[in-house]
């Protein structure tokens, strides 16, 4: 059984009543609107993944076609090692404690 919890940020599409109702009806476990801070990159490992993917995409120059973007994103994602993902997750307890220590302030890199 998965211990995963579906988490979203405060984007309007995520917090819309229709979205929240669908999640409530279709997911076993998710954090409803207001449970997770709307802007919490320090506590969202996916933000680090987006940064890694962006750096990879930026390194190849301009992308002019959607198919090229799709292919590059797939390649960039496949370049993210399981060790990087493990490191991001393993660092979460320390990041949470640091955020608490700073009363919710930005903890940096």
Q: Please check whether residues 53 and 105 belong to one and the same domain.
A: yes
Percent of the chain with pLDDT over 90: 31
User: Which residue in 57, 58, 61, 59 sits closest to 72, CA to CA?
Assistant: 57
pLDDT at res. 99 = 82
Q: Nearest Cα to 80, choosing from 39, 108, 46?
A: 46
Residues 7, 26 within the same domain: yes
> Residue 92 CB: number of other CB atoms within 10 A?
13
Contacts of 105 (CB under 8 A, 6+ apart): 99
Together in a domain, 24 and 53: no
Do 47 and 89 lie in a common domain? yes
Confidence of residue 84 (pLDDT cuts 50, 70, 90): very high
Per residue in 56-77, pLDDT (tens digit) is 988 888 888 999 999 999 999 9
Q: Let me know whether 33 and 61 are in one domain.
A: no
How far apart are the C-alpha atoms of 64 and 71, rounded to whole Å?
12
Shared-domain flag, residues 19 and 65: no
CB 10 within 8 A of CB 39: yes
Does residue 1 sit in the same domain as residue 31? yes
Are residues 45 and 12 located together in one domain of the fold? no
Q: How many domains does the chain have?
A: 2
Segments forming the whole domain that contains residue 71? 40-109
Same domain, 100 and 63: yes
My answer on whether 33 and 59 are in the same domain is no
pLDDT, the chain, mean: 84
With 70 as the cut, is the pLDDT of residue 50 above it? yes
Asked if residues 93 and 28 have their Cβ atoms less than 8 Å apart, the reply is no
């Amino acid at each position: 059984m998965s211990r995963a919890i579906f988490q979203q940020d405060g984007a309007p599409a995520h917090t819309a009543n229709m979205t929240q109702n669908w999640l409530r009806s279709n997911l076993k476990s998710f954090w409803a609107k207001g449970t997770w801070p709307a802007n919490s990159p320090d506590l969202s490992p996916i933000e680090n993944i987006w940064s890694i993917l962006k750096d990879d995409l930026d390194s190849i120059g301009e992308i002019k076609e959607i198919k090229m973007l799709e292919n590059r994103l797939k390649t960039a994602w496949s370049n993210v090692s399981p060790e990087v993902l493990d490191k991001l997750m393993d660092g979460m307890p320390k990041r949470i404690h640091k955020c608490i220590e700073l009363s919710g302030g930005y903890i940096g890199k």
